[in-house]
Structure 1
Amino acid sequence: MVSSGITGRTRPTKVKKHAAAQKRKRDDVDVEKLEQAVEELDPRNGSYRDFTDLPLSEPTKQGLKSSHFAVMTDIQAKAIPLALKGYDILGAAKTGSGKTLAFIVPVLENLYRLQHVGMDAGLGALIISPTRELAIQIFEVLRQLGKQGHMFAAGLVIGGKSLEAERQALTRMNILVGTPGRILQHLSQTVAFNVDDLKMLVLDEADRILDMGFQRDVDAIIEYLPKERQTLLFSATQSRKLSDLARLSLQDPEYVSVHAEDRTATPKTLQQNYIICPLEEKMDTLWSFIQASKKSKILCFFSSAKIVRFVYESFRHMQPGIPLLHIHGRQKQGARLDTTAKFSAAKYSCLFATDVAARGLDFPAVDFVIQVDCPEDADTYIHRVGRTARYNREGRGVLFLAPSEEEGMLKRLEAKNVPIELINVRQKKRQSIKSQLTHMCFKDPALKYLAQKAFVTYAKSVYLQKDKETFKLKEYDFEGFAASLGLPGTPRIKFLKDDDAKQKKQASREALEVSDTSAEGEGEEDGPAKKKAKTVRTKYDRMFERQNQDVLADHYKKLVKNDLDATDADDQDLNGEAGEDAEDDFLSVKRRIPAEASISDVVPEDTEATTKDQKVVHLQGAKQPLIIDSKRRENLLKSKKKVLKLMDRGKKLVYDDEGNPHEVYELEDEMDFKARGLPGEQRKKFIETAREIVAEADVQDKAAAKAKRKEKTRKRKERERMEAEGVDVEDGGVTLDVNQEDLLANFRADAEASESGEVRGKKWFQEDESDEEDKGKKKRKGKRRAKVEIEEPQTLEDMEALAAGLLG
């Protein structure tokens, strides 16, 4: 038997595993002493400087010490004592002043004193953040402080992660950090998620959460939470609206603003400047700045995710010599986390971002914050520029303002006590990248598409801005901006058109008609103006009154009009053909139907009057005549496009080997095809017919070849016979002194012999004796001819004898 105190393990059992096996209320905690010390706190009159001056538990002190937090900031010194006492707090402080610790320490301490630990205790604290990155950052700080002895179960619920895994873990959570959308999803869909015993609610970046973007989600979350709870709100720009506070059910909140008396709303170590940069020069200025600051950590803010993607992709192809990163709300969660981690760890880097990275994120040692696109308001500017000069470090912010944005934006910043100075850009160091962007957009259609979407989203963001004094849509040079992005033309956007078009469209038709009639009446010379009968304008009339939207419509119209003015009517025939004087023109119109001409002027010969109000027009090339019975039908003759539709379509003909014309595609009637039988049977018939045709052609070819061989044999025998009889064969011809009947008899005999098979063909390796004889005779004849000598005539008698011999 093994004693009860001895186990079979060779290694000592770790104490931490036993402690983490079950999280329950600890007996070694003196809660009464902590409660008494908290009650003795005097947050309004007392002065607290270090964390050791506060009545904190040992796990919290160890966590602060391991994270190297010793001295409290101003917001922490005022907010933590009030939160430990249980007050509702509205905390406002500058960016980078340590607001995260101001609510994490009270959450840990209040739940620690209540011993709100374990699965049975349920959810004790809920921390809500507007962005996923900020929620992850809060959770990391909470984990660093709580891992030195606290037994709480803390969780993080944000979008982009497994919903089922979060559901299984929610039942064990005591502290929960998340975004409004994900928290509301679990409250409405997860059955085991219980918040009835919630003790604390924390809203970080409360002004953004209470904004219109999260209003519905926050209102729905508040309905699930109990009324009796402690609520903490923290932000760099705090809202004190009674409507917002009433929505959150705050009870006598304490407003903590440590920088309310300061002259500026931003840190003193932050240097803020702005430059006047027209819209078409933004890309050049940004590229030049990055080239001049390669050994810096830069954060650039844009108004939309499409612009971020385009600037990142285009600058990445141009290789600026500094690592480039980008982050926006349309990325997946893993990519966003990787981007924030890389930028935080980088020494020199440039991050292109939207406002998703403008709030609460703590990027260490950021040198420059460049706001390429103007922020929507002063609060957004403060949050953006707060990513640098954090924790009393130095930093610099630069704001790009268009000339039309300067006056309105400076008023907003002045109202928020934001000091900012104007600086100029050195023109010598500015580089133009317009040609490079144009070349890249021409070569890469995907980059061109990104540029188009970037242009559209920027124009839309300006159009949707509420502050119309700052963002004046008509004063932007959008054509120059499109060219600076590398686009060959400005994309068409509806809201970029003049507002006068809408007013004209909504104007009274009756007023327009009255003005037209009055103008016509004043121009008459015969008498006073007479009011014309009021006519009804249909949609077809308005449709035909519109000008063609093609690219060359105006040019073509001018061309036709000038030709009409220059050419006399007498020089034109019925079809619009010009006379002899117009033949020298470089451009000429072959056929024209004037828009002002009547139907009788256009086709007087082919027009027949059917009734009093109807006319029949026979168009050249159309089988069916055109009946003119309304104004809409009459307007058809004014449009060349409509007239072409009425004409019959031409047929394209091809010619076969026999010279017969037929159409390119001749389709057989389906009924005729089915009448001939099934497709399989038709295929067999076709094959049999083709086989017969081939066999007949084969017989004919064989007969022709046989006749050709016979003719060759006949000629050879005839030549041999003439040589045997001593008939001379000359170059100019052959003279035969043989009886024709004998030749015919010999030919018939040879033919009968060849048909009976007596004459057999020779093989490829044999030579016929007659061929050898022919060769020998030819050689002898050639030798004999070579020996003949022609004597030249010496006298006239010799010449007469030679001539008589030639004549026979």
Structure 2
Amino acid sequence: MVAPGITGRTRPTKVKKQAAQQKRKRDDVDVEKLEQAVNDLDIKNGTFSDFTNLPLSDPTKQGLKACHFAVMTDVQRKAIPLALKGHDILGAAKTGSGKTLSFIIPVLENLYRLQHVGADAGLGALILSPTRELAIQIFDVLCKVGKHGHMFAAGLLIGGKSLEAERQALTRMNILVATPGRMLQHLSQTAAFSVDDLKMLVLDEADRILDMGFQRDVDAIVDYLPKDRQTLLFSATQSKKVSDLARLSLHDPEYVSVHAEDKSATPASLQQNYIICPVEEKLDTLWSFIQASKKSKILCFFSSAKVVRFVFESFRHMQPGIPLLHIHGRQKQGARLDTTAKFSSSKNSCLFATDVAARGLDFPAVDFVIQVDCPDDADTYIHRVGRTARYNREGRGVLFLTSSEEEGMLKRLEAKNVPVELINVRQKKRQSIKEQLQNQCFQDPALKYLGQKAFMTYVKSVYLQKDKEVFKLKEYDLEAFAASLGLPGTPRIKFLNDNNSRQKKQASRQTMELSESDEEEDTAKKTKTVRTKYDRMFERQNQDVFADHYKKLVRDRPDDLSAAADDFTGSATINAADDDFLSIKRRIPANDEEGDFGDDGDTSTTPGGRVVHITGASQPIVIDSNRREKLLQSKKKLTKLMDKGKRLVFDDDGIAREPYELKDEADFKAEGLPEVQRQKFIEEARAVVQIADVEDKATAKAKRKEKLRKRKERERGEAEVDGDDAGVELEDMGEDPLANFLADAQFTDEEDEVVEKTKKKEKKWFESDSEGDEQSSKKKRKKARRHVVEEPETLEDMETLAAGLLG
């Protein structure tokens, strides 16, 4: 053990400081003067147009000047003086009206006057944001304004970052910008993190944070925070619910709504339109719009991340001529940051996004906001379209609505004072990309799978919408929509079945019986409307044992039985009313090998069901229940019932044969001695060769007959042209043509060659008539000497040939 006072270092250590450093306090700050100036503010009668009219500290003024902020907006003019005096605020203003500075400046100033700086001061202000991108944007503005003299320590807590690195730096932070999920994680898991000295709580996009998506997280965070704090809530569509305000423990909040009296809830410089577009034409219309606006900055919103990915991948392969980007909640944090940075810095680009980019993000100079999928409600529409026409700039928003969504959505927008006008699409500029998407899905299975997922997530998003007056799933043409995505068929979705299986499972037995009885009364038009418990008792069946498909196995069907009896026994029609204990229902003859299956392969009827013959299966199947009936509609299950094919291989000539398989030594010995097997193989091969030899001879004989026929036809044609008796018919009607054909059929192939060689050749210019005659005479003498010998085919031919040679 090391002796006390001795360390393990070989070099001498430095002398430690005797006193710990206290809070960093500014000696050059006159806090009392600033406090007096803030207390003297006359909020009701005072007019504040510039930031210089407010009692702000020098570091804040320098930061505003460096960022070129001089004139205050309406919401800043009303909210900042109230926040400086310590009031709780509910701020509602249009998108792009400068709400971020409305809470950043009070945070900096209030902590500055309290001298809440240094690692030992603890957390002084907490700013919550619903999305990571918005939190990063708020943090950037905070750093730009506060880096000119403020000595606070600010931190950013969002998902996708290192949790351990955040824990180490968390205890030194004075201002935190965080998302609710990550903030709650640190509050519950980081032991050294304390929020007991919190002065201010800010909720940006408060309506989104207070809704069902973040309700649990926000409630848990508020439980950790002290009650005596200042709370600021800002959003484009502010919530006034008493329950929401009570959850946050607001003390006499001031409601700041600078645009409440305006005719529109959106900026006046924003032009808003909508078009009627069926779901199957959305992608065609979007592609046509992008082709017509290649020099613009476009932001397109979709309902789900899978749809965003599919549209991005499919459009990217078709090369629209404009840079394409995509962002959604399932991306990694680095990819999302890169996407927002690229889209912000680009002049001409198109960004496909979900609602993760719908709130608070400040993309400069966005020309068009296209809402391809209908938003959930009017508030979501306002936040989406607010990404353009910011800070009094011009912009345009286009909303795609189906005919079923039009009426309900327009009512919701009208209630929120959102003016939207109907426009039409020029049919000349519309292009169809259905075939291109089909080719892509056919060539790329991954894209096809992504398209199926996009279809399913879109349908599910519509199915889960609360506002059923706007989203009517049954009125969508889903088959056409699947075809427009390039899919070969409509993907199967479980919740689209109309059989109400879940309601049937949850319903009681009495409810099911009552519903069945009601259906029977409607169909049969029974006069009895009241059923007593005794009626139900006698009609009750043991459903656990004798199910419907079992009852079909033993049910008597008189029509089928009578037809079967007539076919197989020839007897009279069986009376179905007979209740004999041993009555004959069907008689099958013993000599009938095929039985119920019939001779022609058609379906036949049995007492338990009907027999169906399937092409490709040697054995028929019996359909005796609904389950077996559904089996006929499943190709996958029918393939299991079909006969398995034989494996074939192809040789060099392309002829198919079964593959050779080597036998085991035991199997080889079981078949006999090798010499016996060899002799057996030779005999089988000899038999095969003999059969092939007979076929080859027959083929050769047929070829000779065909050549003889052609020669006869050629000779007849020459005789008609060169003969003296041209007017006389060559064919002798008195003779039998068949007899002549058979008589001449004894010529061989050699004779055909001789005849062909004896054709008259044209004389050359140097040959005389006498030379030609001499040559022809020589050929005739050679022909006379030549003796043609036929090949004997039978024993009689051989005897005739031998007799001729002997003289």
1:504 Cα shift? 7.0
- Structure 1 pair 37–441 and aligned structure 2 pair: CA distance change class (3 A): same
The corresponding residue for 2:259 is: 259
The corresponding residue for 1:542 is: 548
Given candidates 487, 504, 512, the residue that maps to 1:508 is: 512
Q: Deviations over 1:173-199 (max 9, x none)?
A: 011101001111111111111111111
* Paired amino acid for 1:89: I
- Structure 1 pair 520–56 and aligned structure 2 pair: CA distance change class (3 A): closer
1:497 Cα shift? 2.1
SS of the residue corresponding to residue 344 of structure 1 reads helix
Q: Deviations over 1:330-380 (max 9, x none)?
A: 000000000000000000000000000000000000000000000000000
1:536 Cα shift? 3.1
SS of the residue corresponding to residue 106 of structure 1 reads helix
Return the TM-score normalized by structure 1.
Answer: 0.66
The corresponding residue for 1:594 is: 605
Matches within 5 A, 1:391-790: 391-498=391-498, 508-509=512-513, 512=516, 535-538=541-544, 541-543=547-549, 574-575=592-593, 588-589=600-601, 594-596=605-607
Is 1:77 matched with 2:89? no
- Structure 1 pair 539–348 and aligned structure 2 pair: CA distance change class (3 A): farther
CA contact (8 A) 1:219 1:247 kept: yes
Partner Cα distance (2:155, 2:95) in 1: 26
Matches within 5 A, 1:219-234: 219-234=219-234
* Paired amino acid for 2:512: S
Is 1:145 matched with 2:145? yes
Is 1:200 matched with 2:200? yes
Partner Cα distance (1:469, 1:249) in 2: 36
1:516 Cα shift? 6.7
Partner Cα distance (1:279, 1:637) in 2: 35
CA contact (8 A) 2:273 2:421 kept: yes
Partner Cα distance (2:276, 2:136) in 1: 37
- Structure 1 pair 210–477 and aligned structure 2 pair: CA distance change class (3 A): same
1:44 Cα shift? 1.9
The corresponding residue for 1:17 is: none
CA contact (8 A) 1:88 1:252 kept: yes
CA contact (8 A) 2:34 2:57 kept: yes
* Paired amino acid for 2:320: P
Partner Cα distance (2:210, 2:191) in 1: 27
Partner Cα distance (2:628, 2:351) in 1: 60
Partner Cα distance (1:163, 1:283) in 2: 41
1:668 Cα shift? 13
1:498 Cα shift? 2.0
Query: Any gaps of 5 or more consecutive residues in structure 2?
Result: 1-20, 527-534, 554-559, 571-587, 613-617, 648-660, 675-804
- Structure 1 pair 578–439 and aligned structure 2 pair: CA distance change class (3 A): same
- Structure 1 pair 540–164 and aligned structure 2 pair: CA distance change class (3 A): farther
The corresponding residue for 1:111 is: 111
The corresponding residue for 2:99 is: 99
Query: Any gaps of 5 or more consecutive residues in structure 1?
Result: 1-20, 523-529, 548-560, 603-619, 622-630, 654-663, 670-688, 695-805
SS of the residue corresponding to residue 49 of structure 1 reads coil
* Paired amino acid for 2:256: V
Partner Cα distance (1:477, 1:65) in 2: 56
1:533 Cα shift? 7.0
SS of the residue corresponding to residue 232 of structure 2 reads strand
The corresponding residue for 2:212 is: 212
Q: Deviations over 1:195-240 (max 9, x none)?
A: 1111110000000000110011000000111111110000000001
SS of the residue corresponding to residue 404 of structure 1 reads helix
1:575 Cα shift? 4.8
Partner Cα distance (1:317, 1:128) in 2: 39
SS of the residue corresponding to residue 86 of structure 1 reads coil
CA contact (8 A) 1:203 1:232 kept: yes
CA contact (8 A) 2:129 2:205 kept: yes
How many aligned positions are there? 591
* Paired amino acid for 2:185: Q
The corresponding residue for 1:191 is: 191
CA contact (8 A) 1:540 1:632 kept: no
CA contact (8 A) 1:89 1:233 kept: yes
CA contact (8 A) 1:479 1:490 kept: yes
The corresponding residue for 2:531 is: none
Partner Cα distance (1:518, 1:326) in 2: 56
Q: Deviations over 1:427-468 (max 9, x none)?
A: 111000011111111111100110000010000000100001
CA contact (8 A) 1:301 1:373 kept: yes
* Paired amino acid for 1:78: K
* Paired amino acid for 1:135: A
* Paired amino acid for 1:161: K
Partner Cα distance (1:516, 1:452) in 2: 41
Is 1:123 matched with 2:123? yes
- Structure 1 pair 665–208 and aligned structure 2 pair: CA distance change class (3 A): farther
The corresponding residue for 1:741 is: none
* Paired amino acid for 2:542: V
Return the TM-score normalized by structure 2.
Answer: 0.67
Partner Cα distance (1:158, 1:543) in 2: 58
- Structure 1 pair 334–598 and aligned structure 2 pair: CA distance change class (3 A): closer
* Paired amino acid for 1:313: E
SS of the residue corresponding to residue 425 of structure 1 reads coil
Partner Cα distance (1:413, 1:519) in 2: 46
Partner Cα distance (1:380, 1:59) in 2: 37
CA contact (8 A) 1:576 1:593 kept: no
CA contact (8 A) 2:310 2:451 kept: yes
1:136 Cα shift? 0.2
Q: Deviations over 1:99-152 (max 9, x none)?
A: 000000000001001100101111110000000000000000000001111100
The corresponding residue for 1:56 is: 56
Partner Cα distance (2:522, 2:198) in 1: 78
Partner Cα distance (1:650, 1:42) in 2: 93
The corresponding residue for 2:307 is: 307
* Paired amino acid for 1:360: G
Quote the RMSD (CA, aligned, Å): 4.4
Q: Deviations over 1:659-715 (max 9, x none)?
A: xxxxx999999xxxxxxxxxxxxxxxxxxx9xxx99xxxxxxxxxxxxxxxxxxxxx
SS of the residue corresponding to residue 212 of structure 1 reads coil
Partner Cα distance (1:138, 1:248) in 2: 22
SS of the residue corresponding to residue 398 of structure 1 reads strand
- Structure 1 pair 99–576 and aligned structure 2 pair: CA distance change class (3 A): same
- Structure 1 pair 310–245 and aligned structure 2 pair: CA distance change class (3 A): same
Partner Cα distance (1:296, 1:237) in 2: 28
1:43 Cα shift? 1.5
Structure ID, larger Rg: 1
* Paired amino acid for 1:542: D
1:59 Cα shift? 0.4
- Structure 1 pair 76–598 and aligned structure 2 pair: CA distance change class (3 A): closer
The corresponding residue for 1:377 is: 377
The corresponding residue for 2:284 is: 284
Partner Cα distance (2:629, 2:497) in 1: 33
- Structure 1 pair 23–449 and aligned structure 2 pair: CA distance change class (3 A): farther
The corresponding residue for 1:39 is: 39
Identity %: 73
